[in-house]
Amino acid sequence: MRQRRRSSGNPLWSLVSVAIVGGVLLFSYFMGNYEYLLDDKGVTITRGRGITIPYEEITDVQYFERLPALSMRVGEAIGNRRNGTFTVANVGRGKVYAQDITRPALIIFTEKTFYAITPENAQEFLAQLEEYLANK
């Protein structure tokens, strides 16, 4: 009969290793940068699974030098990044996908909600978005 060999490794080290790897993966996910893209389908916000706002659903777009005060409902607030459902002062409750809340922002309104984003160059992004909307 074969005897089982006991592992000489400490199970605590295995647990610590798994925790470290998991922590690094979570950190990478939460610290990943947003990308805001205009394509044939609409405005696409990528980070994690990403979302697309079809051009047909957009009812208005407003430019802000800086986002109004935010109150988090469900989401994350890490440093200057905001992600989730927030109440935006004088606007209402909607989705916020802000890489940096200190940068100029756009709020894209639809019939059901709004999406606050902070593209690298918000004025240029707005001009391109308005061009897409005019041609749709």
Summarised one tens digit per residue, pLDDT across range 76-128 is 898 899 999 999 999 999 999 999 999 999 999 999 999 999 999 999 999 99
What pLDDT digit, counting tens, does each position of 32-46 carry? Answer: 688 999 998 999 998
Global pTM value: 0.76
The residue behind tokens 């469900």 is 74
Q: What secondary structure letter does DSSP report for 48?
A: T
Q: How far is CA 74 from the centre of its chain?
A: 13
46: left (phi over 0), alpha (psi -120 to 50) or beta: beta
Give the domain ranges of the chain.
35-134
Q: In this structure, what token pair is assigned to residue 131?
A: 């061009």
Coarse DSSP helix, strand, coil percentages of the chain, rounded to the nearest 5 percent: 25, 40, 35
